[in-house]
Amino acid sequence: MSDELASPDMSLPLDAPQNAALVGEWLLGTSALLMQHQGETETAELIADVTSLEIRLWNTQWDEEGYQVTLVVEPSLLPRYKPEALKHIGQAMKQVLQPAGKDIDEIQARPEIPRLAAGWRQQVKAVNGPRPTNQARKVRLEPDHPMEDQLHFTNQYELELYQVLRKRQAALPDSETIGIMPLGGMRVGKRVLEPDFLITYRGRAAVIELDGPHHKGRAASDHSRDRQLRHAGVSFVERLNVEEVNTLAEVEKFVDDFLTQLGRQ
């Protein structure tokens, strides 16, 4: 089965109801891939870091539709989307849309608004408490995310993988154990990455990334991230597709194979 994303109906306005569920991811992904193919890797990575896209018809003239685009990004990333960066992103999107007689008239960026939980006061105080940490910088602002051993996880899949890793850790002697870092912030080049798991063992470090439905259409961005991690000294990156894993035994086998590979000198 192909992982190709559906395309919007270009005979209709991009903000038409029939296109609403498709146009954001399609325009972001197509523009990022185009920039990557043209060697504009910094612009491609900026597009890949956009959480979502809002688009609305701005004006129509000379048989061409002009749109206003709003890029929704994590609050901590907003300073990266300066006017010059937005100009380059807009130019990429113009190239994608021009064959269909559509154009970008205005492009801007805004922060993603966090979901509000009943205990938001305690949440803010905990994040800004006396023991600051880079761990799970985004997830810590999400209500009701899983936690165990004072560590934060994005979802249940990550928690279950952590539990298997911890079980393997407990079986090793103290003199030859593994280190498990979930969602640790890491600055690489001009970006701050947050690998799902950074694992250390026998003087080597490797990364495990969990891929779910939200990763469809993001292969180019994922490969770029993996390459940057390897350039920063990570031995290798293994990806576990949660949609293809049905049993705990399969997760355990994945972890055993991963640790065997990491333990090789």
Q: Which distant-in-sequence residues (6+ apart) come within 8 Å of 194 by Cβ?
A: 136, 137, 138, 183, 184, 185, 186
Rounded to the nearest integer, the mean pLDDT of the chain is 86
Instruction: Give residue 208's pLDDT.
Output: 95
Q: How far apart are CA 263 and CA 203, in angstroms?
A: 9
pLDDT given for residue 1 in this prediction: 40
Is the pLDDT score of 47 beyond 60? yes
**pTM flag (> 0.85):** no
At 243 the pLDDT is 84
pLDDT higher than 70, residue 217: no
> What is the rounded average pLDDT of the residues 74-97?
94
163 neighbors 142 (Cβ within 8 angstroms): no
Q: CA-to-CA distance for 163 and 156, rounded, in angstroms? A: 11
Tens-place pLDDT, residues 161-170: 999 999 999 9
Predicted pLDDT of residue 44: 94
pLDDT at position 139 = 75
CA distance 202 to 174: 12
Per-residue confidence band for 62, with pLDDT thresholds at 50, 70 and 90: low
Pairing mode, strands 191-193 and 186-188: antiparallel
Q: Work out the end-to-end distance of the chain between its first and last CA atoms, rounded to an integer number of angstroms.
A: 38
Report, at the CATH architecture level, how domain 120-262 is classified: 3-Layer(aba) Sandwich (3.40)
Q: For residue 114, which amino acid is it?
A: P
Domains of the chain, by residue range, sit at: 23-111, 120-262
Whether domain 23-111 has CATH 3.40.50.300: the reply is no
